Amino acid sequence: MIMNYSEDLKKQKKELIEDLGVCFETCESMSPLSSRIYALLILTGSHGLTFEELTETLCASKSSISTNLQLLQTEGIIAYKTLPGERKRYFKICDNQLNNRIDKRIEGWEKEKALHSKILKYRENLLELNPEITDIKQGIKFNQLQIDLMDAMITNLKNLKQQIQDN
C-alpha cells in the first residue's frame, strides 16, 4: 500500500491518540473520552482545537464532549482561549499542566504519608498494651520505612518542580 508522507503522519497521529489514550485511562484513571481528548490536545499545538473539531475527530456527541471538557478543565489539565471577534473557544492543554500533575502526585504521597503516620501511632499504642509482641515492633519499623519512602518521593518531586520552573 502506497502512502505519501502526510498520510503516514495522520496514521501515526491516530495511533498515538489511541496509545496515549489507553495510558491515561489506566495511569490517571480517566474516562475513555477524557483520555482521548487529552491525548488529542497533547498532539495538537498551542493553537488548540474547537468544540466542533473535537466532536468530529473523536466521533463523540456534543454532550459527552462538553461534560468531559468541563471535567478536564476543573482538573486543571486543559484550558481554552478565544480569538478576538470570535465566539468559538480553542481548547488546549494547560500551560502549567506539568506543574499541576506534579502537584497532584505530591498531594497523593502526602496523603499516604499522613496515613502511615496514623498507622504508626496506632501500632505504638498497640505496643504499649502488649510490649512483648515482636511482630508489632517489626510493623513499626516497616511503617517508618514507608514514611521515609514517601518523604523521599515528595522532596524529589519538589526538586523536579523547581528544576522545571528554573528551566
Interface with DNA (CB under 7 A):
31-34, 50-52, 59-64, 66-70, 80, 87-89
Contact call for residue 9 and its own copies (CB under 8 A): yes
Nearer to its own copies by Cβ, of 62 and 114: the residue is: 114
Query: Can you tell me the distance from the alpha carbon of 17 to that of 9, in angstroms, rounded to the nearest whole number?
Result: 12
129 binds, among its own copies, DNA, none (CB under 5 to 8 A by kind): its own copies
Residue 155: alpha-carbon gap to chain centroid:
19
Query: What are the contacts of 97-101 at 24+ separation with CB within 8 A?
Result: 98/164, 99/161, 99/164, 99/165, 100/75, 100/76
Number of H helices, E strands in the chain: 6, 2
156 binds, among DNA, its own copies, none (CB under 5 to 8 A by kind): its own copies
Could you tell me the three cell numbers for 59?
Answer: 466521533
In the complex, the residues that contact its own copies under the rule CB under 8 A are 5-6, 9, 12-13, 16, 19-20, 23, 26-27, 29, 42-43, 45-47, 98, 102, 108, 111-112, 115, 118-119, 122, 125-126, 129, 133, 135-136, 138-139, 145-146, 149, 152-153, 156, 160, 163-164, 167
